């Protein structure tokens, strides 16, 4: 009798916690450029990693929010510097014209 109650409590606890599979885990938080590189202006990208001279990013659709699984990288040169980015979203078909600019 106690075993049935214990099993019922465990099952209810698992069901109420939302039991997420590893693929349901949220993506890791991207680095925020304003903390590490406040002189960058971004559109259509999410910065995943940055150093003083390099930047890793993922392309993002401005229409539906789709983020590419691929991580791209670029060397950052002295200002003024800019990098143009184009993404045709495989999810919604919208074309996003993005950029990374270093102002100072």
DSSP assignment string, 19-49: ---GGGSPPPPPPPHHHH-TTEEEESEEEEE
Binned at pLDDT 50, 70 and 90, residue 38 comes out as low
Tell me whether the omega of the peptide bond preceding residue 80 falls within 30 degrees of 0, making it cis. Answer: yes
Q: Which residue has the tokens 């045709």?
A: 88
Helix (H) or strand (E) segment spanning residue 71: none
State the CB neighbour count (10 A cutoff) for residue 23. 5
The predicted model scores a pTM of 0.60
41-85 confidence digits (pLDDT tens): 888 899 999 887 888 999 999 999 899 999 998 888 877 888 898
**Residue 28 predicted with pLDDT over 50:** no
Q: Is the pLDDT of residue 26 over 60?
A: no
């Amino acid at each position: 009798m106690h075993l049935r109650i214990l099993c019922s409590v465990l099952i209810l606890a698992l069901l109420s916690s939302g039991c997420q599979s590893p693929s349901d885990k949220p993506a890791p938080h991207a680095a925020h450029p304003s903390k590490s590189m406040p002189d960058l202006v971004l559109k259509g990208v999410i910065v995943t990693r940055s150093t003083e001279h390099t930047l890793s990013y993922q392309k993002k659709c401005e229409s539906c929010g789709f983020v590419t699984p691929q991580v791209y990288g670029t060397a950052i040169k002295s200002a003024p510097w800019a990098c143009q980015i184009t993404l045709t979203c495989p999810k919604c078909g919208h074309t996003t014209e993005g950029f990374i600019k270093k102002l100072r």
